[in-house]
Amino acid sequence: MTDVAHITLLEFAMRIKNVLTREFASSTWVVSEISELKVNNSGHCYLDLVEKKGDQIAVRVGGVIWAANYRKLRQKFLSATGAEISQGMRLLLKVAVNFSEAYGLKLIVHDIDPSYSLGEMERQRKETIERLSREGVIDRNKQLPLGLPQRLAVISSGTAAGYGDFIDQLDKNRYGYLFFHKLYSAVMQGAESAESVASALNDIELSGQSYDAVIIIRGGGSVADLSCFDSYEMAKAVALFSIPVITGIGHDKDKSVVDATAHTSLKTPTAVAEFLIGTFRRYEDELIDMQRRITAAATSLIRNEKARADGIANKIAHAATRKISLMHMDIARFEATLRLRPMVTIEKQQARMDSMFQKITLLEPANVLRRGYSITYLNGKAVKKGGDVKDGDFISTRLHEGTIKSKVIYNNTIEGGKTIVHRTETLF
């Protein structure tokens, strides 16, 4: 085997270098994802560039941006995209192949095309939004009712100027509204921000406090590195949170995915503070308007009821007056009846007495005699029947004018079925 043709490793590496130098003599534009990024003390930026198939890494190559070029490319990328070059980004890189016999293959990055990154970031943002929509959670937080947001859980960096301005604006509002707020500190930029914000949300959930809203604000620094707010994990955590989430994370142009899943999204911490104060103001205006409407309704009701009561009182008074008048009339008629009744009774009795008197008068002997009748007396007593006298009796007959005295000489009177004939002899 020692006679087999061979070369040394160095010779082999040099051949590889010659081939690569010949085949890749000029720079090439390559699309790659940054899986790791480190900047050393000298300012050189070392990259771990990968290509994935599904969840598996198909290719991994090291890359470097030398310090002087990194400063220029970093500023160029930041100005164009508003974001730092960071882990997880998919970039269009202009690279040259470098092969060192001692250190192996490395790609030297000469340029970055920010326009590709902008399109890629937008594509990823749209894909994330579409994914959240398919899962049916993108509007979940928006559907929660936002009452009066007085008790606030604030997720921010406690050292950020934007947080201080937000708290100062709330606490010193000109209306004197009282807000209760507690800071849940989190990293608000960079690769760690998504996990940090999700952890803060979890702390709020486990706190047992009855918060009205969660406020996520970022301000007071550069607008760089806001891509973390397009994170699927952070956006979903916001979408599924149990109370309304309000964001003010400083986007000057497009909204982030977190803004899309939040209950209410605003541009800055100051805008969030104005929104909260405005919500209180609208609530107070509604209360004042409600008080006015209640007062007006009560006044109208009292006025209507008073008019109704007055109407009823007038009707009662009129009815009472009419009733009293009718009663007076009844009493007058009763009194008149009482006065007239004795007179009528007396008149009736008088008429009855007059009738009786007339009858009595008619029955008086003198009146009877006047009508042609006569009365026969025997021994001073009136003779009622023929059997009361007998032959030879002396009788006297009283006429209307004068008296006739006679002697019975013959009596023919019917008694017991027998006829008795009386004959008299007038003496004078």
The structural domains of the chain, ordered by start, are: 9-112 (2.40.50.140), 141-280 (3.40.50.280), 370-426 (no CATH)
Q: Residue range 155-168: average pLDDT? A: 89
What is the model's pLDDT at position 354?
A: 79
CA 297/CA 300 separation, integer angstroms:
5
Q: Which pLDDT band holds residue 425 (cuts at 50, 70, 90)?
A: low
What is the model's pLDDT at position 369?
A: 74
Pick 323 or 67 by higher pLDDT.
67
Q: Residue range 323-347: average pLDDT? A: 77
- Asked whether the beta carbons of 197 and 216 are under 8 A apart, the reply is yes
Q: Residue range 176-203: average pLDDT? A: 90
- Asked whether the beta carbons of 31 and 52 are under 8 A apart, the reply is no
CB atoms under 10 Å from CB of 128, counted, come to 22
**Residue among 218, 88, 64, 105 nearest 156 (CA):** 218
CA 20/CA 22 separation, integer angstroms:
5
Q: Which residues pair with 182 in a beta bridge?
A: 153
What is the model's pLDDT at position 135?
A: 96
- The structure tokens listed for 233 are 């994990």
Of the ranges 279-293, 332-346, 396-410, which one carries the lowest mean pLDDT score? 332-346
**Residue among 88, 85, 79 nearest 39 (CA):** 85
Share of the chain above pLDDT 90, in %: 42
Written as one string, the DSSP assignment of 315-381 is HHHHHHHHHHHHHHHHHHHHHHHHHHHHHHHHHHHHHHHHHHHHHHHHHSHHHHHHTT--EEEETTE
Dihedral angle at the C-alpha atoms of 264, 270, 275, 281, nearest 10 degrees? 170
Of the ranges 138-152, 188-202, 317-331, 359-373, which one carries the lowest mean pLDDT score? 359-373
pLDDT digits (tens, 9 = 90+) for 266-311: 989 999 999 999 999 999 999 999 999 999 999 999 999 888 888 8
CB atoms under 10 Å from CB of 233, counted, come to 13
Q: Is the dihedral of CA 276, 282, 283, 285 positive or negative?
A: positive
- Assign 74 to helix, strand or coil: helix
pLDDT digits (tens, 9 = 90+) for 51-106: 988 878 889 999 999 999 999 999 999 888 877 888 888 899 999 988 888 888 89
Angle at 271 between CA 237 and CA 267, to 5 degrees: 55
- Assign 420 to helix, strand or coil: strand
**Residue among 16, 10, 30, 25 nearest 99 (CA):** 16
Scan for tokens 């006065």, then name that residue.
339
CB burial readout 56-85, b (16+ within 10 A) else e: eeeeebebbbeeebbeebbeebbeebbbbb
What is the model's pLDDT at position 74?
A: 93
CA 345/CA 352 separation, integer angstroms:
10
- What end-to-end distance do the CA atoms of the chain give, in Å? 225
Q: Indicate yes or no: pTM above 0.85.
A: no
What is the model's pLDDT at position 179?
A: 96
- Assign 263 to helix, strand or coil: coil
CA 185/CA 384 separation, integer angstroms:
152
Average pLDDT in the chain: 85
What is the model's pLDDT at position 417?
A: 46
Would the pLDDT of 420 be above 70?
A: no
Strands 245-248 and 403-415, sheet pairing: unpaired
Q: Which pLDDT band holds residue 426 (cuts at 50, 70, 90)?
A: low
CA 124/CA 126 separation, integer angstroms:
5
pLDDT digits (tens, 9 = 90+) for 30-47: 999 999 999 999 999 999
- The structure tokens listed for 345 are 């009774």
